[in-house]
Each structure stands twice: as C-alpha cells, then as structure tokens.
Structure 1
Amino acid sequence: MPFVFSQGVLESVHQYQTATIPVGGSIMLADGLAQDYATIWRTQPQVRTVVSFLARNIAQLGIHVYRRMSDVDRVRITDHPVGDLLSKPNPFTTRYRLIEALVSDLAIYDNAILAKVDTLGLVRLDPRYVTPISANQFTVETYRYRGTTGYRDLPAEQVIHFRGYNPEDGRWGCSPMETLRRTLSEEYQAGQYREQLWRNGARLMGYLKRPLDAPEWGEAARDRFRRSWQAQYTGTGAKAGGTPILEDGMDFVPASVTPEAAQYIEARRLTREEVAAAYHIPLPMVGILDHATFSNIQEQHKNLYQDTLGPWLTMMTEELHLQLLGDFEDSQDVYLEFNLAEKLRGSFEEQAAQLQTATGAPWMTRNEARARVNLPQLDGGDELVTPLNVLTGGQASPTDSAPEPKTVLATAMRLLEGVAG
C-alpha cells in the first residue's frame, strides 16, 4: 500500500519497502509560494538571528576529551584520536565551522548529518539532499545522498545522524519552522507589503472622487492628469513627494492601512519573540530589551547555558559517544564534554575575586601582572607579595603561635613574686 511523506507540500509517493523523506521540506506561504527551510533562513531576519545565535555560541565552546578514572576522579586526554578528529574534522573545515554548521542544520531542519570518510575525516552532508532508507520507521540501514551527477548510498555505520523528535517518523526530525508556519507566513506577507509600499514611493493609497456636476473629461485631459499624479506619487518620478493639484472640486479619499494601525514594529518584534520562544532562547539574548535590566540579563545569560544550550550540548555529546567514539580503540571510560565552564566563569573581576577567595592569598606575581599589560619584567618581580594581614606557613589563626597556657601561668607567677619582693 503506498503512502505519502510530506512536510508542508506534497512531493512524492513511495512504497513502504523504500520509504523516503522529501527533500529538505518546505512551507506553503499565504500566497501559495512554497519556500524551503533554507530560503526562509536566508530571507527572514528573525529566523537567521535566532539560528545564528545558537550556532555561534555553541561553536565557540571547545570539546574536551576525558577519561574517567573513578567515580570521583577524571583526567583530560590531549592525544586521543577522537579529539584530534574533532579539532580538525577535515583538511578544509575547522572545528568551529563544523559545529556551527551542525547546530545550524539542527535548528533549521531538526536534522544534521556527518559522513565518516576515510580519506578526509568528517564531512557535513546537506540534509536537503539526504534520504534515509529502511524497511521500518525506527532504524535506518542506508542514507542516500543525491548530488548533481547522481546519488550515493552510505551505510548507517558511516554516518553520524543528529535528529530531533518526530512523532510521525522516528528516523527524521521535524523542523521548528513547521510549528512557526503561520507566524513566518504573516511576516513574509508583511515584508512583501512593505517592499511594494516603498517601491511605489510610500504613497498614500486611496481614490479620487469627482463631483457629479463636474465637466466631462476628455481623453487628453484624463491622460494629462494621470501623468501628473504619478509623477508626484511614485518613487521614480522627478516630482515625487510634491503637492498635488486637484481639479474640478475633486477630493482624495484615503483607503489604506497606516503603518501605525498595521503595527509593523510590534509585528516584527512579535515574530522575533515567537521564533526565540520556539528555540527556548531568553528574549534579551536576541536583542529584545523591553524588560531587561543589568541584573536580570546576567541571570538570563547564566540560564542560557544551563537551560537553553545545556540540552543541545548533552544531545550532541551523547550522539558522538554512540555513533563516533566506539569507532576508535582505547575508548573505554573515555567521554567528550563541551567546555561550558569557560562561558560561565564570569567577568575578569568575578574570576579574580573567586581565585583569591579560593587560595586565601594573592595569586599572581608582579611580572605576571606586568605581562598582562605588555610591560617589561622587573628584577625581583617573580615573588608573590604577601600582605602582613595574610597568614602563611600553615597557621590557621594567630593563636597558633601563642605559648602554652602552663607557660603563661608560670611567667605570671614569677612576675607577681618579683613585685611582692
């Protein structure tokens, strides 16, 4: 029995033995135009702002390799082959660019695919041209990649597939843009209207009304008035923006929606809020500062890496453990972790206060401090300067150097005897 896979538009019918997913997916806008997800990302600034925010912030984090020594001990490994592969995925891609593309694909398509190529390393495959092929909707045996000269089938073992949840098919994610279909369609129509408005000189739309007793217009008079009116109210006319002269007692009757009534600014802000909410991003992080203060922005910045990016990082590392780490020898008790602590360290002042509190004393020499500001070293500047009110030498308190109580009592008795004598 044939069945249909569709993400917004009907594309093809397939038999269940080789069920496939349509190319990329697309959204049908209000005017009947079907735009795929890549076009929406490219043309709608609200979507691109949110997606690039996610991709850039995650790509900035480094990926470290650790070996678990015990339940309470671990050691970082700097020479493991999986770490080398992730730091240089292939000869023409950096780690940052690979992670940025990976997160962008996940945010746009809810799917991201990397191919394991022996001669190159890890290579990104465009999800628009990948079709999972299997006999069921739970596992994938083959990924078919379509190119300009044909297609190539890759076994599942040679592919790393990151995907989100899809209740209709567990093999392929469902793009968040499907949920944002109506919001994105409204934004598209508003953009089309604004573009037409400015192309026509941002004129007031309406109609001209002539009195019933006005004299009859000839063809030449009507053409002359039309040319004069268009020259004053179109964007290319030499007299655009001028004052029209109405004849024969005519009236201009406005018949348009003003920008204030249409609430263009509010609509654009609402679109960005809806897109940010779909990706669980705090609004101040994408430039919506209506209710932002210094303190709550700081807290939301921390929540960003805990509540927003945390699930993404966990999903990505677990998929790498499952689909990549097992391909290497000596991977027992080895695991990957994004360097999230680097982003949560706080400002320089906060870090300095934390380090000084943890050590209980100054933690930089004068020469180390001078190197920070590009000054030459000084003789004797490699020693820590310890203030007199900071105790060192293993003493927990000033009373550690006090004499024993018996010694104090004996000394006091001798002083009293001397005074009495």
Structure 2
Amino acid sequence: MSRPLFETNGQLGAWLESSDVTIVDPPAGLFDYDPDALEPTGVESHPLREVVDFIATHIASLPLKVYKRLPDGGRERVRTGPLAELLANPSGNPAISPYAFWLSLITDGLLADRYLAVQVEGHDGAPHLKRIPPRRWSVTSDDFDEITGVKVQVAGQTSKYDIHKDAILLGVGYSYAGAKGSPKRARLKDVLKEYEASVEYRRNVNKRGIQAPLVIERDRPWPDEQSAQRFRQSMRAFVHGGASTGGGMLLEDGMKANQLASFKPIDVADLDARDKVKIDVANAYGIPPELLGIREGNFSNLTAFKNMLYGTYLDPYIVAFEQSLNWCLRDRIYTYDKGVYIEFDREGQLRGDPIAQYQALSTATGRPFLTTNEARELLNKPNLPEGDGLVTPLNVLVGGQTSPQDGMTESRGTPVQDITSSREDT
C-alpha cells in the first residue's frame, strides 16, 4: 500500500514497503490526488445514501440460509452446525442484530467498494465475526494486483491476515491500478458537489429571502413617534406568528399594502436539477429511479420494476456477496462437506401473491406440492406425526385430471360430479 501513496518518490515508497510501514488512516490531505482514496467526503450525501440505503436494506433483510446438496440433486436446509450458528448470530454482540451486522458490511461495500470482517472468539467461546471499518485496514497485493491479505491497524498495532489461511470475510471491487477497489462515490464526486451547492443555495434563499414581499405605504406623516413605535411593535408580533398566523393585517387610516416584486423561495427552480443528480446516482448503482420515488412512474412500470428488483437489479450485489460468504466462510469453517453452501432466500420477496403462486405450482406439478407439516410451518403451528407425506387426492390420482384445480376429466371433458350423478341414475 505504501508505494502508491508515495509514487512521486520511489525510494521512499520502496523503503516503507520493505520496512513494513503502513499508513491506514492518514489525514485527508494525503489522499487529495487519489480518486480511489476513502475520504469521508460525500459519504453522507443525501442522494448517495438514499440509493445505498435502499440497496443495503433490501439485501440485509433477506434471510441467509445454509443448504446441503443431496446425491439425488435435491437439497435440504441445514439448521445446526458451526456455519449455520455463525450466520444466525454473526457478531455475538447482543446490541448488533444479524440484520444490522450484514447491513454494515453491505453498506461498506457500496460506499467504499470493499468490506472486511475477521473471525474472533466471542464471550460464549463460539466463533463470531468482527466488522473492521474500511478506514482501519488496507489491502496487500502482489505485482499483478491480486490480493494476498490485509493489514488491520488498531491502537497502534498492526495485525496481518492471509487470504489463503485465516478466516476472514473479504470483498473488494475493481480498481484500474492497485487492489483496493474504486468507490462509485469517487466517480460521482462532481455530481454530489453540485447537489450540495444547490441545497446550500436554497437554504440561503429560505433563510435570507423576503418572507412577506409587501411594502406598507402611508400617505401622511405619523402624528407622533409613539404611534409609529406602536405600529412597528404590532407588525413584529404579526410577523412572528402567534394567534394571528395566517390571518389578515389590520392597517391604520392612510395606509395601504403593496406587493413587492420579488421572487419567493419556492420559485427557485433548482428542484428539477437536484432530482437529475439523484437519477445519476441511481443509474450509477443500477437501480431504477422510479423505485426510489425520484422519478414518477405509472402502475404498470412500477409493478414490472418491483418484480425485477431481486432478479435483475439487486442480483449482481447478491451474487457477489453470496460468493464471498461461500469462499471465505464455508471453505474455512465447514471444509469437510463441499455440498454445503450459503444462499440468500429470495423466494419470500419474489413469490408475490401466494394464492397465484400456489395455484401455478400445483398446476405445474399436477398434485399438491406441500406436506401438511410444511403448510403448518407457514402458520407457526407444531408438526403432526402423520404430516410428513404428500396427500394426493384420489380424483387427481385416478380421475385423469390435468391438475388439482381442474374439475374436468381429460377424456370426456365432463365434470366429475356429473359423471357420478349419471351413474346413480342408471
């Protein structure tokens, strides 16, 4: 890491690298020339956080589950074991829920283009994960920009982790030079600065602009200073609000109120420009602006966008995080069974209307697809001893019907109840 920081002086960079001297959290000024540096500038920008929070919250809310691939091609849920227990309580901190932990890691990746968590032993003696803020660690790489490990510096001490040996959860994006990633907010820096300037301008207009663009004229002089002072005090009370807020203004004899030709704060036409900045940020992260309410949409395209959210727009982020979990956690904690893998459960968000989904699945399979216990699980009810098998209705088994919802036989096209009644008549 040292050589890119001091590339203007090759000898100094070589000495720092050979002496194993790493600057993890330097002053912001040191990185001014480096667009990939993790400066705090822009992290809290409203358009950026609006898009990043949308992505991170939707992914972190998906349940992380462990499955095992069976020899016949099926799979079963793994609920016990070190890997399942680690995913159920990754931090081991009662104040940090699994949702909050994964949300922090995903947000690190979206804002800094990298995230890191190292395995530590918790208070219960079980392995847990400790999130390392991006400003506290640096990537070590070889001459081909391939990551070899990380260095974590806390309280003046540097800890080294080998990517091939140590149990760490690491994700780093693409960077043209180096291996530390390239945050999107660095590429959006100018756009975000334009947004902040627009917000500052509008704030100043609201603060310093004329709130009531009126001028009061009087066609005769005040009879005395006391009368003028009394009117000024009454106007101050009127402007400051109170019971007269929104009411009319009572003028004395010889006075009239004329409107002053001035612009109002609401007339400042910068809202469209600010929305365009938000659209640029949303497009940079591959999220339709309609889903964030930035751009108006109709019922048809909003429904289509929502249906594609977890399959098209969030899929690159979900797949990348799933692969990191499997390569970094499964292969270091659950190495004795390669058939085990970690996966986000996206079915709960993709299934949509349960009635339509169940009818489609039942029609496609030609029979019920849930056991009694699986259906009772959906209602949080206890299992039954006889509820593990599929119950197939007799009319589906021998009646020649195409699906359990079909009341017609395949051969005659006559309802089952009509066939029964005709037999009774004979």
1:75 matched residue in structure 2: 75
2:55 equivalent in structure 1? 54
Q: For 2:277 and 2:105, how far apart are their aligned partners in 1?
A: 25
The partner residue of 1:162 within 150, 155, 171 is 171
Instruction: Check if 1:196 corresponds to 2:204.
Output: yes
When residues 161 and 363 of structure 1 are mapped into structure 2, their CA distance, relative to the original with a 3 A threshold, is: closer
Letter in 2 for 1:36: P
Counterpart of 2:104 in structure 1 is 101
Distance 1:162 1:349, change over 3 A: same
Change (3 A) 1:395 1:138: closer
Tell me the CA shift for residue 96 of structure 1.
1.6
Letter of the structure 1 residue corresponding to residue 189 of structure 2: R
Q: Deviations over 1:329-351 (max 9, x none)?
A: 41323222211222211112322
Correspondent of 2:342 among 332, 336, 355: 336
Aligned CA RMSD, in angstroms, stands at 5.1
CA distance in 2, matches of 1:164, 1:180: 16
User: Is 1:187 matched up with 2:188?
Assistant: no
Higher alpha-carbon Rg? 1
Q: 2:292 aligns with which of 275, 279, 286?
A: 286
Are residues 150 and 351 of structure 1, via their aligned partners in 2, closer, same or farther at CA, if it must alter by over 3 Å?
same
Query: Counterparts in 2 of 1:6-405, with a 5 A limit?
Result: 15-16=13-14, 17=17, 18=21, 20=23, 36-37=40-41, 39-41=43-45, 44=46, 46-69=47-70, 73-78=73-78, 79-92=80-93, 93-119=96-122, 120-133=127-140, 136=143, 137-146=145-154, 149-156=155-162, 157-170=166-179, 172-200=180-208, 203=211, 259-264=266-271, 266-293=272-299, 295-328=300-333, 329-360=335-366, 392=398, 397=409, 399=411
Q: Deviation per CA, 1:288-332, whole angstroms, max 9, x where unpaired?
A: 352332x32222122221222111121112222222222124132
2-side partners of 1:255 and 1:135: how far apart?
Answer: 63
Q: Deviations over 1:4-63 (max 9, x none)?
A: 379xxxxxx9724156566597998xxxxx97157525xx2x222211111111112122
Separation of aligned partners in 1, 2:353 and 2:103 = 25
Name the aligned partner's letter for residue 116 of structure 1.
Answer: Q
Deviation at 1:181, TM superposition (A): 0.9
Measured in 2, the distance between the counterparts of 1:19 and 1:317 equals: 30
Q: Which runs of 5+ in 2 are unaligned?
A: 33-37, 216-228, 252-257, 381-389, 403-408, 413-426
Task: Measure how far apart 1:130 and its partner are.
Answer: 1.9
What is the deviation of 1:102?
1.3
Residue 235 of structure 1: how far off its partner (Å): 8.0
Separation in 2, partners of 1:123, 1:291: 41
- Percentage of pairs with the same residue: 24
* 1:90 positional shift: 2.7
Unaligned runs of 5+ residues in structure 1 are 7-12, 29-33, 209-223, 246-250, 375-382, 401-421
Distance 1:91 1:108 in 2: 25
Which residue matches 2:424? none
Structure 1 residue 174, shift from structure 2 partner: 1.4
Per the TM alignment, residue 100 of structure 1 is displaced from its structure 2 partner at its CA by 1.1
| Count of residues in correspondence between the two structures | 364
CA separation in 2, counterparts of 1:22 and 1:284? 38
Letter of the 1:302 partner, please give it: N
Alignment TM-score, normalising by the size of structure 1: 0.67
User: Does the 8 A contact of 2:91 with 2:101 survive in 1?
Assistant: no
C-alpha deviation, 1:110, in angstroms: 1.0
Is 1:199–1:235's contact at 8 Å kept on the other side of the alignment? no
Q: So what's the TM-score if we normalise by structure 2? A: 0.66
Distance in structure 2 (CA, Å) of the matches to 1:254 and 1:98: 55
Stretch deviating more after TM superposition (49-58 or 251-260): 251-260
CA distance in 1, matches of 2:392, 2:147: 64
| Mapped contact 2:3–2:13 kept (Cα < 8 A) | yes
Give the C-alpha shift of residue 106 in structure 1: 1.0
Distance 2:90 2:27 in 1: 24
Aligned letter for 1:111?
A: R
Alpha-carbon distance, 1:399 to partner: 4.5
CA contact 2:112–2:182 (8 Å) conserved in 1: yes
